[in-house]
Amino acid sequence: FFARQHNGQLSHAGGWGLTLGDECGGAWLGRELLRAVLMTHDGLLEGSPLGAQVTSNFGNGPDGIVMFAATATPADFAELAPVLFEAHESGDSLANHVLTRAVADLERILTAMHVNGGDLFITGGVGVRYKPMLGATFRDALKEPAGDSLSGAFSIGRALLQS
């Protein structure tokens, strides 16, 4: 969920849930990691230590991944996000593939939401992990939020009720 308040106007994008959205969130990252691992199984992406680790954790084949995904909640998928970021820090090619796409999506969304400049705030479980991967324009605009996601949601709700 992305929100922007400028000159008293509130606009937002996303928030449509994991099936149709949740771009760049922890659950989305976990799901995209599993998709990438399946693509390595199909020979569409090059394998990596992360891919081998994930495959092993789900029973050494795609069936375990598919069975997990069929019943996984967003929180279940999100548990994979820290592993993805750790592998990225080690230079893992599969982690880099997933996070390169995530950063491109995030920058596209931030560009749309950050039309007239101003400060940017990224919250959520994995938000802070993106900062060093963003382009300089976005890194320079990023500020520490005054509160957490819940206080931001209350603020947005209050603004919507007043409009």
Length of the chain in residues, anyone?
163
Host H or E run for residue 122: none
* Residue 40, C-beta contacts closer than 8 angstroms, at least 6 positions apart: 46, 47, 48, 51, 94
Q: How far apart are CA 33 and CA 117, in angstroms?
A: 32
Helix axes 62-71 and 26-41, enclosed angle (nearest 10): 150
Superfamily per CATH, domain 15-162:
ATPase, nucleotide binding domain (3.30.420.40)
Enumerate the domain spans of the chain. 15-162
Say if residue 103 is exposed, middle or buried (CB neighbours under 10 Å; 0-12, 13-18, 19+): middle
Determine the 3-state secondary structure of 66 from DSSP. helix
Contact 55, 61 (CB under 8 A): yes
* pLDDT given at position 146: 74
pLDDT < 70 positions in the chain: 1-2, 4-6, 9, 11, 114-118, 149
Q: What is the reported pTM?
A: 0.82
